[in-house]
Amino acid sequence: MSPPQAPDMSDSSPRIFYHSNLRFFPSIRRLRRPKASESTPAPPPAGFEEGENVETEAEDGLVALRRSVKRLHFGSWEEKEAAAIEIRRLAKEDSKTRKALAELGVVPPLVAMVGSEVAGRRRPAVQALIELANGSYTTKALMLGAGILSKLPENVDGIDEPTMHELAQLLQSLSSLANSQFPFTSPRIPPLLAGILESSASTGTIKLCLSTVYNLSTMLDNATALASTEMIHALLKLSTEKETSENALAAVGNLAVTLPGKKAMEESPVAPESLIEILTWEEKPKCQELSAYLLMILAHQSSIQRKKMADSGIVSVLLEVALLGSPLAQKRALKLLQWFKDERQARMGPHSGPQTAGRVVEIGSPVSEREKNEGREMMKKLVKQSLYKNLETITRRANAAEDSSSSRLKALALSSSSKSLPY
């Protein structure tokens, strides 16, 4: 008996190639297949058609997913726009669908659509990306890797309010990755954010934008890139509005620690007057604390800024905050008062000039020790009178507002000794 012959495999190669090409969208089938289909379900009771409806809806969703992905990759511009709208609808369903869409490679073509100069083509892609980024760190990373920051518009010229809101929403979502390894140093971002802050009339859009600026400014490299004159001016302008003041001041606080940020703040026409005005907001203790912090940055090692603050009447405001503010605001106000006190004493002391063995060479008629002591006593009396006058003003305000701390102010005002005063 002859041994069995091996089967002829000469024509198997075309079959293998054919079957390998039949693997189209395998991940869609795995992810979109209902778990109930893996095992034979029990027959439903008579008249129960919910299972049939579920299977029909699953099939319809699978067909829509296939069609949308195919059109997005290979369709015309009109088909791409329709596919972006459909992908946005599908991405709203659940996180599983969003993950499936991202794995099928829809992010790069959507990012490419954002770079279109035609607003009608850009907006559906932005809307789809917003939904895809919802709660997905991986999808956001894919967007940054696809170059989304370089595809965004450079300014807000010709952009309507709804589109500005969507751009701010997308940037706010992406900015959550600011503290990761992804850089946000694109030159398009600062002018776009500043333009939205300046041009938008929607408080919701402005708050989204402020949140983005704050998230980005937490990293020093991003803060240096963001700290432009336009950005600082827009933030300081928004800080004078109580609805957006806290978020704007927090963002300025992060940007002001950089050299460009401090320089832009010093050159701003609204500083330090606007910050001193914020110090008077007794109902906004957080804003008082942030404003005092920014004033400390401005006043530090800058006699010009301290003079501007003194001319704007900051001393009396600081005294009020030191007595009525929150603990942190009081601490910062006292620090500022100490700087002004030291500077006043420096102006009263001997001027700089030739010195020998630590002794100042005085020019003019000599002054006796008794005259020096009399001068010191006179200055102490003047300072005490000024402090009492300020305390009387603060006491009147507190009594008029029936503040809970009026008893403490009254005790300070009636005290015959100045030891209880800050200085």
102-146 pLDDT tens trace: 998 999 999 999 988 776 778 999 999 999 999 888 999 999 999
Q: Tell how far CA 247 is from the center of its chain.
A: 7
- Amino acid identity for residue 343 in this structure: E
| CB-CB contact of 217 with 179 (8 Å) | no
| Whole-number pLDDT of residue 34 | 47
pTM equals: 0.69
**Average pLDDT for 85-93:** 91
**Kind of pairing between the strands at 359-360 and 355-356:** antiparallel
What pLDDT, in 10s, does the model give residues 237-258?
Answer: 999 999 999 999 999 999 999 9
- Amino acid identity for residue 39 in this structure: S
| Whole-number pLDDT of residue 22 | 40
Task: Spell out the residues 6+ positions from residue 87 whose beta carbon is closer than 8 angstroms to its own.
Answer: 68, 69, 72, 101, 106, 110, 128, 131, 132
What Å distances lie between residue 122 and 106, 112, 115, 149, 174, CA to CA?
15, 9, 7, 14, 17
**Average pLDDT for 165-184:** 86
Confidence of residue 341 (pLDDT cuts 50, 70, 90): confident
The Cα 151–Cα 154 span in angstroms is: 9
What Å distances lie between residue 41 and 36, 64, 344, CA to CA?
7, 25, 88
| Whole-number pLDDT of residue 248 | 96
Phi, psi of 352 (to 5 degrees): -70, 145
Using DSSP's 3-state secondary structure scheme, residue 331 falls into: helix
| Whole-number pLDDT of residue 61 | 63
The Cα 99–Cα 138 span in angstroms is: 9
**Average pLDDT for 285-307:** 92
Task: Spell out the residues 6+ positions from residue 313 whose beta carbon is closer than 8 angstroms to its own.
Answer: 276
**Average pLDDT for 337-360:** 59
The Cα 246–Cα 291 span in angstroms is: 9
Q: Identify the residue whose tokens are 């001027």.
A: 351
Q: Does the pLDDT at position 21 exceed 70?
A: no
